Structure 1
Amino acid sequence: MSFLIPFLLVFGFLCQTRAQEIEYCGNTPADVAFMVDSSNSMWAPDFKQQLEFVRNVTKMFQIGENLTQVGMATFGERVWFQFGFNMYKDKRSILRAIRETEQNHGISTATDKAIEFLRRHMFHRRFGSRPNVPHVAIIVTDGQSDNILKTMIEANKAKRENMTIFTIGIGQNVNADELRRMSSAPHHEHAFLVQNYNFLDSIKNKLAIKACTVTTSTTTTTTTTTTTTKKPTTTSTTTTTTTLPTTTTTTTTEPTTTTTTTTTTTTPTTTTTQSTTSTTPMSTTTTWMDVVRNVCENKPVDIVFALDSSDVVTSRDFWHQVKFVRDFTLTLDIGTNRTRIGVLLFSDKVVHVFDVNDHNSLSSALSDLYKMQRTTGGTRLEELIRYARLKSFRRTVARQSVAQLVVLITASASKDLHKVKTEAIKAKKNGITFLAVGVGKHYNQEELEVVVQHGDRSDMDNDLDSFSPYLDNVGSRRRQIFTVDSFPDLQSIVMEAAMEACTTEIAHISVADQACGTRQEADMVFVMDSESAGRKNTLKSLDFVKKVANSVDVGNDTIQIGMLQPDECIPPPESFKLDNDKDHLTSALETQDVDKLPGLIRELRRHEFNRKNGGRKDAKKVAIILVDGELAEPLKALKEARRAQLKGIEVFIIVVSKDPPQPEVRDMCAYPPQQHLFQVPDYDGLRSIEDNLIEMLCDEL
């Protein structure tokens, strides 16, 4: 019944879009305590920036006695209590209290006392803390604690008492390892490190989302499911009733009623108690979707999703990838001048689904997404990377001053890590960034590291490694690798991955701005059919070739240019060989002459790209053939051109004639003909196609 899956996904999308709009950030009960560094190492303006950061994070919670409560304290050589969870009942009052907090100028950093205060006092009933909700502590500091051992002891005690600890280190004076060990596991999701106070604002969204995740997951574990039914369930009880809104991007097909000793939590639209009926409230707070959409708004990024379609991926797993892409794109600001998306499938071959410039709306892109079919085969990541570099972000597609990103999902490993590394290095040099997702147990972690090109991690401070997802100063420190246990678990990383994608840094030189020839080596040969053109027109052709040569990067490692000329009376000069010296090439072109076309194409195919003529094994082979008027033997020329294409030569045809080209001549060029066939009325008209031809020649170079 796997053929039903695409239909269900489409139906789920239509039904789910509305549901995703009511996801909440901090809507379930939680006590969140901020512990803010107030020591002498901090200037007053920096302290104010800390407070503003705390305010911005607090704004993302829904405040209330039965929802999220916020408390705050500052610390130096001791702790200064600011306000407890039960002191302020509304968000406005809390924000005012945070803003009015004064710096106490402690002479040292007693982080151990700060955590002890949180554990023994702040998260206590007398300060308004509730026993059956998550206890979340957010510790902000710009220095190392006075006693690391005591700090670790207190942190371990707090975590054993089910306190979730987030740590934020600011500047160069923090002890990264201490912050990592203080934080809850997994450490890379609970420990943040920023360069200075100005960077605090850049992590507020990530921190809030992580805090929301703690809130949701902890609350869920305190409930037990009592009834699951396809119809809304009525639960009678004398206790308080709270409605739990949807907090994930998955589609719920069956409502569930959840009951605890004090709270009845349910997802049906109506829940009845002895005295009241509660319906799902419309929240006034910021949702997860809102947070990410706000980050992604008006962000011009070109994103290509590369989905694993190898033999290890089942049909159901494949459609979980489709669902991931769908939910990912719902957070993006899709548009011609904003974010654009493309899709590839890969196994031991690459299948093109659609390019980033094929759709200017989300609906049309999703329509194509649902139509694609799974393939099979092995895993060759090097082919995927090469295809993305040369095809997906070719010059006619890539935009200037826009980040180019590949979101790669893989559940298996390639056979040749060296080839993967070679292609990944080229991709990085060409300005392409990768975000890699490993699924299951069979992907290669080292291969993911190679793909995202983190660089030589041995040169980095080992203490900082665990903070790499949240460092904001350099691209290599961004979180570019995600891992999940199974394909359904892809949903758990949608929001964070989307945020990383939207904030991808633009390469120093984008693909579109790089010189022609920097992405791929190419050997180009011009074939001149000047038997009836005469010397004057031949000279115009040579000027045309010089113009093309001067527009590309000619060199040993980039583009080499050669030419076949038809005069049998003139012995082949040195310039017949592929040339990597622009000055020598220019002077050599001045002396060239002409010959018959079919024989020239045969010579091109058999010998011109050979190593003895300067041809390179892995270089792209390109032939540009000028046809003067009608051919005497068009069928023979067509056969030779077809044979050349079978040998991997990309053939461009330029017809110089006022009459329509012969059918055989039209068929001589490579596919698609609109990119490989040009016509001008005379040799003076060659100037009119120079720019267009150069654009086509350089598209993948």
Structure 2
Amino acid sequence: MSSVTTTTSSTRKPMGNTTLPYTTESTSKVTKYCHSTPTDLVFVLHESGRVGKANFQLQNQFVAKLVEGFDIGINSTQVAVITFASTVITEFYLNAFNDKIQLLESIKHINYSHPGLTITHKALRTVRNEVFTVANGMRPNALPFVIVVTNVYIDELRAVATDPKDVIIVKDFRFLVSIQERALRSACKALLRNTNVSSNETETTILITTKHTIATTSSPTKITKTMTAITTTTTSSTTTPKEIITLPYTSESTIKFVAKLVEGFDIGINNTQVAVITFASTVVTELYLNAFHDKIQLLESIKHINYSHPGITMTHKALRTIRNDVFTVANGMRPDAFHFVIVLTNGRSMISPVKIREAKLLHELNITVFAFGISNEVYIDELRAIATVIQEM
């Protein structure tokens, strides 16, 4: 199974007009765990639509409290922050701040501004290819360290981390404050373990989670040799144009589900375009990507999709239609847009090997495929074969 091979990322400056419930309590309990070993620390923060602004602010406060436990400066610890969901934004690089007060103010003013789907592998790729570079402040003699705050399955966290013990789970964002000492202690212990190891060979990553939701990849990108996992729930999507194609199993509940997904996007020629196809033995293109640039009209069209062609499940035909007919410039596809497909199905597809081949052809075009299994009859291995992201419903 493949995933998107290109990373959409950008850098933004923190806004100065955002208020955050931020405190400056004594950090004497946590500072004793850390030392002055040069460290390049990157926070990877997940901000999704289901998180909400209030929880995102709690997450920022948690990050700020962790940063208070480190000595900040060119000869000690440097900090970078990126946020992610469908896309990745670099809030600031490692060499942006060498003054702790300015750094904490910048963290305090990171805005919850781009909700979307959870695609963790893009964030990890950005850390590896863009943030950990000499041009953006990485020091060859420093210990690379990553803290990921996300909401993926616990098995994925363990797969990303080199040490399964370095996974911290909290019930929800309100409990982040209860683990800040534990998180900092884990981080500093990892740094101490790696003090005598070349930084070119060792990177440390922490993941923090509040609950288990959509898995982002079947084989997460591993960017560290030492990783602590802590997961919360936060995501991000920018105004990068998106092409969304949905393949719903046509029932009233799934049509409502598709409509709710669409409501979360800005619709327009310069934002998100949506196409819908339905399938069974045959495939019907309900609407192409360039059919609607008005959200109200688009939602009305989705609401009136009828259950009109029952038959056996031939998923490969639907995937082929996407590749050959829907994702074409003539029907509204924009080459510079982010392309992804959402498949909703409730059964086993016929001619499975053909379906797998069609799915791979989509992957080779850098199209991300999300597969949702509806009912107990779904064959999870088939979903994994076609998707970069799967979810049971």
Q: TM-score, normalised by structure 1?
A: 0.30
Q: Confirm or deny that 1:418 pairs with 2:327.
A: no
**Counterpart-to-counterpart distance in 2, 1:58 and 1:328:** 16
Contact 2:203 2:223 (8 Å CA) reproduced: no
1:57-96 paired onto structure 2 within 5 Å: 61=55, 72=65
Match of 2:17 in 1: none
Q: Aligned residues, how many?
A: 254
Which of 341, 355, 373 is the equivalent residue of 2:306? 373
1:486-505 paired onto structure 2 within 5 Å: none
**Counterpart-to-counterpart distance in 1, 2:45 and 2:233:** 15
Match of 1:364 in 2: 297
Match of 2:390 in 1: 481
- 1:75 to 1:303, Cα distance in 2 relative to 1, 3 A: same
Contact 2:248 2:258 (8 Å CA) reproduced: no
Q: Confirm or deny that 1:99 pairs with 2:104.
A: yes
Highest RCO, 1 vs 2 (Cα 8 Å, sep ≥ 6): 2
Equivalent AA in structure 1 for residue 202 of structure 2: N
Q: Deviation at 1:364?
A: 1.0
**Counterpart-to-counterpart distance in 1, 2:291 and 2:52:** 41
Equivalent AA in structure 2 for residue 380 of structure 1: M
- 1:307 to 1:188, Cα distance in 2 relative to 1, 3 A: closer
Contact 1:143 1:175 (8 Å CA) reproduced: no
1:290-369 paired onto structure 2 within 5 Å: 295-297=237-239, 299-309=240-250, 318-369=251-302
1:66-465 paired onto structure 2 within 5 Å: 72=65, 99=104, 134-136=174-176, 137=179, 139=183, 141=187, 144=190, 173=202, 186=212, 195=223, 209-210=233-234, 295-297=237-239, 299-309=240-250, 318-375=251-308, 376-397=310-331, 398-452=333-387
Q: Deviation at 1:419?
A: 0.8
From the CA coordinates, give the structure whose radius of gyration is larger. Answer: 1
Contact 2:210 2:231 (8 Å CA) reproduced: no
Q: Which runs of 5+ in 2 are unaligned?
A: 1-19, 22-26, 71-99, 106-142, 146-164, 194-198, 225-229
- 1:377 to 1:429, Cα distance in 2 relative to 1, 3 A: same
Equivalent AA in structure 1 for residue 382 of structure 2: E
Q: Deviations over 1:303-331 (max 9, x none)?
A: 1111013xxxxxxxx22212222221122
- 1:322 to 1:96, Cα distance in 2 relative to 1, 3 A: farther
Q: Deviation at 1:348?
A: 2.3
- 1:187 to 1:381, Cα distance in 2 relative to 1, 3 A: closer
- 1:337 to 1:413, Cα distance in 2 relative to 1, 3 A: same
- Aligned-pair Cα RMSD in Å: 5.2
**Counterpart-to-counterpart distance in 1, 2:249 and 2:52:** 40
Q: Deviations over 1:267-302 (max 9, x none)?
A: xxxxxxxxxxxxxxxxxxxxxxxx75xx243x2111
Q: Deviation at 1:333?
A: 1.5
Q: Deviations over 1:329-351 (max 9, x none)?
A: 12212112221001111222212
Contact 1:142 1:174 (8 Å CA) reproduced: no
Match of 2:92 in 1: none
SS in 1 for 2:348: coil
Equivalent AA in structure 2 for residue 99 of structure 1: L
Equivalent AA in structure 2 for residue 444 of structure 1: Y
**Counterpart-to-counterpart distance in 1, 2:204 and 2:69:** 17
Q: Which runs of 5+ in 1 are unaligned?
A: 1-25, 28-32, 77-94, 101-106, 110-114, 124-132, 148-169, 197-205, 211-290, 310-317, 455-479, 485-701
Equivalent AA in structure 1 for residue 373 of structure 2: G
**Counterpart-to-counterpart distance in 2, 1:53 and 1:420:** 35
1:585-604 paired onto structure 2 within 5 Å: none
Q: Deviations over 1:217-257 (max 9, x none)?
A: xxxxxxxxxxxxxxxxxxxxxxxxxxxxxxxxxxxxxxxxx
Q: Deviations over 1:654-701 (max 9, x none)?
A: xxxxxxxxxxxxxxxxxxxxxxxxxxxxxxxxxxxxxxxxxxxxxxxx
Q: Deviations over 1:373-432 (max 9, x none)?
A: 114222111111011111111341222222322111122121322111111122223443
Contact 2:242 2:337 (8 Å CA) reproduced: yes
Equivalent AA in structure 1 for residue 284 of structure 2: V
- 1:186 to 1:335, Cα distance in 2 relative to 1, 3 A: closer
Match of 1:659 in 2: none
Q: Which has the higher helix share?
A: 1
Identity of aligned residues (%): 16
Q: Deviation at 1:440?
A: 3.0
**Counterpart-to-counterpart distance in 2, 1:193 and 1:364:** 40
Equivalent AA in structure 2 for residue 173 of structure 1: T
Contact 1:143 1:173 (8 Å CA) reproduced: no
Q: Deviation at 1:40?
A: 4.8
